[in-house]
Chain A
């Protein structure tokens, strides 16, 4: 690696795009991802708006571009622990977790079948379970299994090792560090859903049939815990009355003091998931203002033509649970001036976007605002992009990342 290589931190849609745009211009790129797979939040979606494509639609092309481009080096399960130097001359240290599965893996699933220990699945946001030896997701790239050796007994580990006829299980794998020189850093660390447990008046994440919008994506995804059937968590029944609570944490100085940009569109989109899966279900979206910027207004018009969808101005400010597992939502309908307690089978909180690194130390020395978004300082050689910089949808993330790639190239060009 040399002074004109580019480090891209984060392998979500922004990071992949920035890495490819720079690599296809002939620059050497190292793409570092914390998870064992690329694709980030997009990979977890059922569909993304406005065309309601499945995530494989956009990601597959990107993965294909990565595969065919020797300039991109992908390192998964890795985190940047140290960045020193200045623009054009950074020394970067990575810490790479052991995967316990080597490159001989064919993705045959034998190790997962041999494994017995089950743990909550992070990819499904805790809604399903997975084995300790697992495929990160159906559409994983790189398509290689992961074995969490330290979460099962030694005997089970031996059994899993024996189950692989390709010799892909490596029980001696170790955590290791790797260092190299780059000329620019693109910070594309993305976002995380706001922690529901902080929303005390909305049940603090303790009510069984109150889920986040990202959990709703997993519930409706064909590769999700229910195989794409919309079943409420408490009793696996199909919900007949569903509410979406907008601004669950966003636009609130006690939580996220900004608009998360995508949640209104996400809830409208998820209303179409409900209509496809439970045609007779009644859906209510409670909002402060419905924000569907630009051309998304058309999507609002299309979705709101559904006569079983109600759009109610008024924020749900209290959620409780009845003995029979229904969710009781208290809300004032601002148009009618009536405050009521409404009963729902399932409530989806449109939780906002928080920068992934909010509240955490980061290796790059670059300013962040009080909410944790990177402000970005291209002169310093560190370029922030995507949802690490501001809440964005997929389309605008791709546009921003292309711009970030250009900034990175300008930093390293000619060195």
Chain B
């Protein structure tokens, strides 16, 4: 016997979702083409058909607890085949955007990150902050004399390092809360029943190793997606490794700087004193990261600009992230080149802009689309632990006797 289920539609959630990139969701008539079109969708309760009906009804709790929106890698095959132009791919992206917005507080950051009308506030916070530091260190908006060293304007020990350590602490704490909320919500979902051959489920540690090795490093799923994905794959993969390279550079600089203050380790500063000579391997790695990043950004932006607007669209979340990452790389490249050219009058203002963009990238990260770095990874780990795997194709077996 089926028991009646009382559902509570939330129309305001539907409107928010439509504003976050899922405006076509109401066109869906539940034919389930999308669930079949998706090569990553599992056989039991496949996505995205069920998400489409939940979204139409505004079933917020179901969507916010849904692991499947994170298993989607947004190749857009479902939207291409959708007979109604309901754009399931865009709807899942919108649900992820809603998760960035709602998963952790403070609620105002989530709200500000959801629409371009709040963008001036988001820019103003770091712009004022770094302008005040400039005023304090220089006693006015003047350009420091002599050779160009950004440390003259923003001394690392007293301004940049403590500030960004605070930002990273804040970001890390927010992510910790977000991941905990997420894991708890996944636990509330029914487990996958394993019939037939018993499959050993991996431990959490094993699952993390698998996800990093099998998904993040290789981006394997991108090639499993049903569509020609080369441009997107190349763009995303190079951008990820550009960030890895730049993270290593930052790490080396930080460790050598702070490490050298430990008695007996003052030789460490040899590694990462800035500005570095161009032949330094650390500098070469930074330049490689810069070039890779600009290439990746070009590929990803080109794809978004060229995509068929009848089939898929781009939301504010997409453009915010691309915009901020572009700003980080363009201003970073600008600082590097202007410093080498010796144009102090432009190099210091460029560094100011660079700090604003870096602040915007990291301080708001858990509420931006870049939050997928942590949340998708969490979902992929949980999916492995819980055994939620794509439908395997039937192999034709011919037995001859």
Contacts and interface: CB of A to CB of B under 8 A. Distances in A.
A338 to B, nearest CB: 6
Interface string A177-195: 0000000000000000000
Interface stretch (A117-125, A230-238, A311-319): A311-319
Interface string A313-327: 011111000111010
Nearest to A317: B36
A255 B31 CA distance: 15
Contacts of A314: 31-32
Contacts of A334: 30, 32, 49
Given A334-B49, A337-B50, A251 B83 contact: yes
B393 interface: yes
A332 interface: yes
A361 to B, nearest CB: 27
B43 interface: yes
Given A251-B83, A337-B45, A337-B50, A322 B394 contact: yes
B46 A324 contact: no
Contacts of B45: 337-338
Contacts of B33: 315, 317
Contacts of B35: 317, 332, 339
B274 to A, nearest CB: 55
Interface in B216-266: none
A31 to B, nearest CB: 38
B49 A201 contact: no
Contact of B398 (A251, A255, A324, A331): A324
B36 A323 contact: no
Contacts of B37: 201, 317-318
A237 B46 CA distance: 35
A339 B32 CA distance: 9
Nearest to B45: A337
Given A324-B398, A334-B49, A254 B81 contact: yes
A66 to B, nearest CB: 41
B332 to A, nearest CB: 43
B334 interface: no
Of listed A247, A288, A328, A343, residue having the most chain B CB within 10 A: A288
Contacts of B32: 314-315, 317, 331-332, 334
B41 interface: yes
A201 B81 contact: yes
B396 interface: yes
Contact of B43 (A288, A338, A343): A338
A330 B31 CA distance: 13
A341 interface: yes
Of listed B83, B393, B396, residue having the most chain A CB within 10 A: B83
Contact of A338 (B30, B31, B34, B44): B44
Contacts of A337: 44-46, 50
B85 interface: yes
Nearest to B86: A253
Nearest to B396: A322
Of listed B36, B37, B394, residue having the most chain A CB within 10 A: B36
B84 interface: yes
B391 interface: yes
A341 B391 contact: yes
A113 interface: no
Given A314-B32, A315-B33, A328-B394, A253 B83 contact: yes
A252 interface: yes
A340 interface: yes
B248 to A, nearest CB: 42
Of listed B29, B32, B50, B394, residue having the most chain A CB within 10 A: B32
A76 to B, nearest CB: 38
A326 B396 contact: yes
A69 B45 CA distance: 63
Contacts of A288: 29-31
Interface string A112-141: 000000000000000000000000000000
Given A201-B81, A252-B83, A318-B37, A341 B394 contact: yes
Nearest to A315: B31
Interface in B17-65: 29-37, 41-46, 49-50
A252 B50 CA distance: 19
Contacts of A322: 394, 396
Interface string B385-401: 00000010110101000
Nearest to B77: A201
A339 B41 contact: yes
Contact of A339 (B31, B36, B85): B36
Nearest to B46: A339
B25 to A, nearest CB: 16
Interface in A277-304: 288-289
B90 to A, nearest CB: 15
B36 A253 contact: no
A253 B81 CA distance: 9
Contact of A253 (B30, B85, B396): B85
B117 to A, nearest CB: 32
Contacts of A253: 83-85
Interface of A: 201, 247, 251-255, 288-289, 314-318, 322-324, 326, 328, 330-332, 334, 337-341, 343
Given A322-B396, A323-B396, A337-B46, 10 more contacts: A315-B33, A318-B37, A324-B396, A326-B396, A331-B36, A332-B36, A332-B49, A337-B44, A338-B43, A341-B393
In the A-B complex, list the 4 residue pairs whose CB atoms are closest, starting with the nearest: A252-B83, A317-B36, A322-B396, A332-B32
19 contacts: A251-B29, A252-B83, A252-B84, A254-B83, A315-B31, A315-B33, A317-B34, A317-B35, A318-B36, A323-B398, A326-B396, A328-B394, A330-B36, A332-B36, A332-B49, A337-B44, A338-B43, A338-B44, A339-B42
